[in-house]
Amino acid sequence: MSDKAVITCAITGVLTDPKHHPVPVTPEEMARASREAYDAGASVIHMHFRQQTPGKGHRMCWEPTVATEIAEAVRDACPGVILNFTTGTMGRDQSGPIDCLRAAKPEIAACNAGSLNYLKVKSDGTWAWPPMLFENPVEKIEELLSVMLETGTRPEFECFDLGIVRSVEMFRQVGMVDTADINLVMGVASGMPCDADLLPLLRKYMAGDARWQATLIGRKEIWPVHRRVAELGGHLRTGVEDTFYLPDGRRTSGNGPLIEALAQIAEDTGRTIASPEDTRALFL
């Protein structure tokens, strides 16, 4: 266990409407949000890209020029910061994420490590949206990993359940990847719940040398789980992609207060906050 805790900030997320929530969209907004998180202790910035046309900022964008402009703005605002790109597409076609990886060459990128029925039920017993398959077959993963090898990007395997955690070690066994870096995604309704009791079990089924963190999706109930992640030696992530709520239940004004709260948890559990230089030594 490293005493240094790497903090990732997920600064914007998918589809959330900037008219109603404090999510950045433009390069200037993304750079400002990243600097706020960086000053609070984040050394990794996880980013999604939105359409830049006024009124369209709630929609995803896979334009390499947009990704590059945003990446350059964030790097300029945050000296030494490590960039982590999203790559998720619901179907098989991932040409957009691949184009963005090749254009901007982030240090890290998400690699969704297995398929998931993406479901949620409303209180009236109806689907919140039509049931969808988040499709991530092995051949899609192999294609993405080959591009990451080309661009010098470290894959971060997004794991939504225990079977997907176990699959990551299989990827290593067959030579698809040489390191097992795992992100436990907890709180998606049809995936793993955000439950601290699961963490020791999940850790048991990871490779002994796996570097791991947890993405916790929810409201104030996520914060005790963040504490348990820190106690068990995991790295930490939050941001307005994952939650809008601080430990006391108040809505956050942006990414900075969320990262401040997470850094305080890390320090309270005896961890020190990894600098960008520390993070490069640990992760890259």
pLDDT digits (tens, 9 = 90+) for 216-226: 999 999 999 99
Q: What global pTM score does this model have?
A: 0.96
**Over residues 55-60, mean pLDDT:** 90
**Over residues 87-106, mean pLDDT:** 97
What is the model's pLDDT at position 22? 87
- Nearest to residue 84, comparing CAs of 144, 49, 44? 44
E strand spans, the chain: 4-5, 7-10, 44-47, 82-85, 108-112, 116-118, 132-134, 154-159, 181-186, 211-216, 235-238, 272-273
Q: Which two tokens stand for residue 39?
A: 């000053």
Please state, in angstroms and rounded to a whole number, the distance separating the CA atoms of residues 56 and 79. Answer: 30
pLDDT at 10 > cutoff 60:
yes
**Over residues 235-245, mean pLDDT:** 97
What is the model's pLDDT at position 246? 97
What is the model's pLDDT at position 106? 98
Write phi, then psi, for 159 (nearest 5 degrees): -120, 120
What is the model's pLDDT at position 272? 97
pLDDT, averaged across the chain: 96
What is the model's pLDDT at position 1? 56
**Over residues 168-190, mean pLDDT:** 95
Upper half-sphere CA count for residue 250 (Cβ side, 13 Å): 7
pLDDT digits (tens, 9 = 90+) for 68-79: 999 999 999 999
pLDDT at 253 > cutoff 80:
yes
- Domains (range + CATH), the chain: 4-283 (3.20.20.70)
